[in-house]
Amino acid sequence: ESDLSWNDVFDTPRPAGSALVLRNAFAALDDVGYDFSAFSRTDSPDPPTDIFYGYRVDSTGYVYQQVFVPDYGTNIQDAGYATSLDAVDFASTQGWSPSGTVEAVVGHNYVVWTRDNHFAKFRVTAVSATTVTLDWAYQLDPGNQELAVTPTTDDGVTPRRPVVWLRP
């Protein structure tokens, strides 16, 4: 038996979930959006909703399947295709969608910067005319851009690695 090791470990809680289903806000009256801070679906695309889903087909037959933010105080960006939600480990402060919307693409990860200075991420796992299914994670610490658990080596030291900024 060895003496007690006194290693300092720092990380912040990052609640996460999977198989979150949001309904099409253009056709449904409930469960159309998500409030990351309350960990719950919302029945309106208005704040406190952080994101909501919309699907429509225009007169030319073009399909719009999008995730929206409800106000100019909330930002969203497409972080691109990745094999898992944890591929996005840090939120950028640049590259946000000027329209407040992103195309919902299966396999893509997205980052959200909420109106109350929290960062969140989600991954689209399924999309249809009626619903979108997401995996998600939310940073509880205001202003903290860390979106994944920081890996450590066997001796408890966080390895140095370059920061990779993901852009759509």
Tens digits of pLDDT across the chain (168 residues): 677 766 665 566 789 999 999 999 999 999 999 999 999 999 999 999 999 999 999 999 999 999 999 999 999 999 999 999 999 999 998 999 999 999 999 999 999 999 999 999 999 999 999 999 999 999 999 999 999 865 544 554 444 444 444 444
* Gap between the Cα atoms of 100 and 73, Å rounded: 10
Q: Where are the beta strands (DSSP E) in 11-144?
A: 16-23, 33-35, 40-42, 51-57, 63-68, 75-81, 101-103, 108-113, 119-127, 131-138
Return the pLDDT at 160: 43
Q: Residue 90 in contact with residue 146, Cβ under 8 Å?
A: yes
Quickly count: other Cβ atoms within 10 Å of residue 28's Cβ. Answer: 14
Q: For position 115, what pLDDT does the model report?
A: 97
- The sign of the torsion formed by the CA atoms of 66, 127, 32, 81 equals negative
pLDDT of residue 163: 40
